[in-house]
Chains A and B, each alone.
Chain A
Amino acid sequence: MATFEVAGLQQTYGGRTVLSLETLTIETGARLALVGPNGAGKSTLLRLLAFLEPPSAGAIALEGRPVSTRAARRAARRRVTLVEQRPYLFRGTVAGNVAFGLRAAGVTGPAVAQRVRAALDRLQLQGLHERDARQLSEGEIQRVAVARALAVEPVALLLDEPASSADRAAQQAMFAALADEQARRPLTVVFASHLLEDAYRWSDRLLALHQGRPSPVTPENLFRVDLPGGAAMQQVAVGPLRIDVVSERAGPATLAIAPDEIVLSAAPLQSSARNMFHGRIVRLAEHGAEMRVTIDVGVELVARITRRSFDEMGLAVGREVYASFKSVAVKVF
């Protein structure tokens, strides 16, 4: 069954359409990452899925039931919880914060303390119960907010840029807790991220948004350029690089190089690929049987390769490699 089914969804603020989604189905238990630059509509979509605001047009169904009235949204908010990019902790203790949603759900007596403890334990926040919520680090605030959201056992947990304020270890703990929770019970997780590595590492599906609409290309290896024009085969400046592209266009454009079109090699290749750049691996992300390798060649390029190739080449952060791709692999739009 699907947790969310979205149809003809539109959100308009002051006459400006900030989100337009024809259809979107999010299956129960899914781990969907929303990616895209600032202003792409990720946060708007999360607020709509959290039923915190009504859409200008279209409909969202939660677990098969349409949620269109005020009363339906109020009921739906008991099933879906959003953790904002900069979560707000209420005045008081950490335990008081985690208990808030439980009390709202009508939980009373010793069950409150028990569930508060369980939620904090899951996020490895033991010992923080009685701490003043205003005296936590950003990473702790983030995890307390996730614990507070999970305590009410929602069917869907929405996270806006969960990694932005947390350090690497806190982030790891948080995503691990979410994976544990998903193993324990059916929980749908939707999170927005501008860090593609995180999106790939923690999601099983990716939705790229660009200016409020689903984008056919994921926002990696995207470059704003100024095409000189004048020939079908052009050389265009991207930072310090000169990239060969096939396009008759001139003027401002966007270049996209799909990560699976980039070939990595330890030595220069003798091939038909017209673009080859030398650089150093700066980041790695595992995603099942594949690896996403970020190489700094003057600009950052992301290449997608299999785990086996990665192992056989003995790649690691800091290694020098050559990245090659054909000029016809460079999309211009």
Chain B
Amino acid sequence: MSALPSEVFGIAALSLKVALTATVVSCLIGIPLGFALGWSRLRGRRAVLLLLNTALAFPTVVIGLIIYGLLARHGPLGALGLLFTWQAIVAAEVVLALPIATALSAAAVQTVDPRVRRTALTLGAGTLRTAWAVAREARFALAAAVVVAFGRVLSEVGAALIVGGNIRHETRTLTTAITLATSQGNFSLAIALGLVLLALALTVNVLIQLLQGRGDV
């Protein structure tokens, strides 16, 4: 495997693109879902939360296999032609990050003082504004949900390898590149790529923390 700086840059950019897209998609679905779960008093809520918590420990290669089966040419979604594309990796990572975003935001909502919701409601707020008020009070815990989801997808390798195929210039991410470099005995490259991965993770976390700090009106 060559280690041209431009190639490393491309790999890092793809990793970031995949991780950010998957995090945004999973949080856009998972956070509202978490709110619904955290608030509802419906029967079956506990069972759903139990399932979610189980999904948190789901092996990533199994998720990779399932998505592979769905996207393979003869699979149910084969016609989309997505297998071995970066979008396929995003799909697998979303499946991976969704339970994290949902379970952690449900937990975040449950820890918010119940007076927040009552206060918003009695002041005439509708469902969305009330949810926003609760989200603002729970923003540290919600930001943690986003950070954990992002960390999970950025560092994931099994599913990305299976559905992405580790194709040079196409679907090679930092983690799959590290796997390849290691198997080729190129440890110095693997370590260099690992440091790039760490730097990326640090940068995104710092950005999220800065955003959080500015949320205070």
Interface residues of B in 109-160 (CB under 8 A from A): 113, 115-116, 118-126, 129, 133, 136-137
Q: How far is the CA of A87 from the CA of B137 in the complex (A)?
A: 15
Minimum CB distance partner of B130 in chain A: A104
Q: Which chain B residues lie closer than 8 Å to A54 at the CB level? A: none
**A91→B120 contact, CB < 8 A:** no
> Residues of A contacting B125 with CB < 8 Å?
100-101, 104
- What residues of chain B lie closer than 8 Å to A80, measured between beta carbons? 122
B124 touches A105 (CB 8 A): yes
Does B217 reach chain A (CB closer than 8 Å)? yes
- A52 to chain B: which residues have CB within 8 Å? 118, 121-122
CB–CB A152/B136 < 8 A: no
Q: Which residues in B have their C-beta under 8 angstroms from that of A105? A: 124
**Given the interface contacts A88-B115, A90-B116, A91-B136, does A81 sit within 8 Å of B217 by beta carbon?**
no
**A194 interface residue (CB < 8 Å to B):** no
Known: A88-B113, A90-B136, A91-B137. A104 touches B119 (CB 8 A): no
Residues in A82-128 with C-beta less than 8 Å from chain B: 82, 84, 86-88, 90-93, 96, 100-101, 103-105
A331 at the interface (CB under 8 A from B): no
Contacts A101-B123, A104-B126 given; does A84 touch B133 at CB 8 Å: no
Q: Known contacts A88-B113, A91-B216, A93-B217: does B137 contact A100 (CB below 8 Å)?
A: no
**Do residues B118 and A90 form an inter-chain contact, with CB atoms below 8 A?**
no
Nearest residue (CB) in B for A98 is B123
A87 engages B119 (CB within 8 Å): yes
> In this assembly, does A74 line the interface, its C-beta being within 8 Å of a C-beta of chain B?
yes
How many chain A residues touch B (Cβ–Cβ < 8 Å)?
26
Find the A residue at minimum CB distance from B133.
Answer: A90
Complex: how many Å from CA A312 to CA B124?
51
Instruction: Decide: B137 and A90 in contact? CB cutoff 8 A.
Output: yes
Distance between A95 CB and nearest chain B CB, rounded to angstroms? 10
A102 CB to nearest B CB, Å? 9
Contact: A100 with B120, CB < 8 Å?
Answer: yes
Asked if B123 and A84 sit within 8 Å, CB to CB, the answer is no
Q: Which residues of chain B come closer than 8 Å to A86, judged between CB atoms?
A: 115
Check A149 for interface membership: any CB of B closer than 8 A.
Answer: yes
Range of interface residues on chain B?
A: 10 to 19
Known: A104-B124, A104-B129, A152-B124. A92 touches B119 (CB 8 A): no
Asked if A77 is an interface residue, CB under 8 A from chain B, the answer is yes
| A307 part of interface (Cβ distance < 8 Å) | no
Whether the Cβ atoms of A50 and B122 lie closer than 8 Å is yes
CA distance A100 to B120 in the complex (A): 8
Of the listed residues A52, A81, A86, A91, the one surrounded by the most CB atoms of chain B closer than 10 A to its CB is A91
Q: How far is the CB of A144 from chain B (nearest CB, A)?
A: 12
Residues of A close to B136: CB separation below 8 A? 90-91
Contact of A77 with B124 in the complex, beta carbons under 8 Å: yes
A287 within 8 A of B: no
Query: A283 interface residue, CB < 8 Å from B?
Result: no
Is there a chain B Cβ closer than 8 Å to A304's Cβ?
no
Residues on the A chain within 8 Å of B124, using CB: 77-78, 81, 101, 104-105, 152
Asked whether any CB of chain B lies closer than 8 Å to the CB of A148, the reply is: yes
How close is A263's CB to chain B, nearest CB, in angstroms?
A: 45
> Are A84 and B216 in touch, CB under 8 angstroms?
no
Instruction: Please state if B123 and A148 are interface contacts (CB–CB under 8 Å).
Output: yes
- Give the shortest distance, in Å, between A64 (CB) and chain B (any CB): 20
- What distance in Å separates the Cβ of B134 from its nearest Cβ neighbour in chain A? 10
Which among A50, A96, A104, A148 has the greatest number of chain B C-beta atoms within 10 A? A104
Query: Which of B119, B121, B126 contacts A90 (CB under 8 A)?
Result: B119
Closest to B127 in A: A74
> Are B123 and A81 in touch, CB under 8 angstroms?
yes
Q: How distant is B113 from chain A, measured CB to nearest CB, in Å?
A: 6
**A158 to B121 CA separation, bound complex (whole angstroms):** 14
A90-B217 Cα distance, complex, nearest whole Å: 10
For A103, what are the chain B residues with a Cβ–Cβ distance below 8 Å?
129
Does the CB pair B116–A81 fall under 8 Å?
A: no
List the B side residues contacting A104 at CB < 8 Å. Answer: 120, 123-126, 129
Give the docked Cα–Cα distance between A13 and B37 (Å): 22
Cα–Cα, bound, A133→B115 (Å) = 15
In the assembled complex, how far is the CB of residue A78 from the closest CB belonging to chain B, in whole angstroms? 4
A interface with B by C-beta (< 8 Å): 47, 50, 52, 74, 77-78, 80-82, 84, 86-88, 90-93, 96, 100-101, 103-105, 148-149, 152
Q: Which 3 A-B pairs have the closest CB atoms?
A: A101-B123, A88-B115, A78-B124
Given contacts A84-B119, A103-B129, A152-B123, 12 further A-B pairs with CB under 8 A are: A47-B118, A88-B118, A90-B116, A90-B137, A91-B137, A100-B120, A100-B123, A101-B124, A104-B124, A104-B126, A148-B123, A149-B122
- What are 29 A-B contacts with C-beta separation under 8 Å? A50-B122, A52-B121, A52-B122, A77-B121, A77-B122, A77-B124, A78-B124, A80-B122, A81-B124, A82-B118, A86-B115, A87-B119, A88-B113, A88-B115, A88-B118, A90-B119, A90-B137, A91-B136, A91-B216, A92-B216, A92-B217, A96-B217, A100-B133, A101-B125, A104-B123, A104-B125, A148-B123, A149-B122, A149-B123
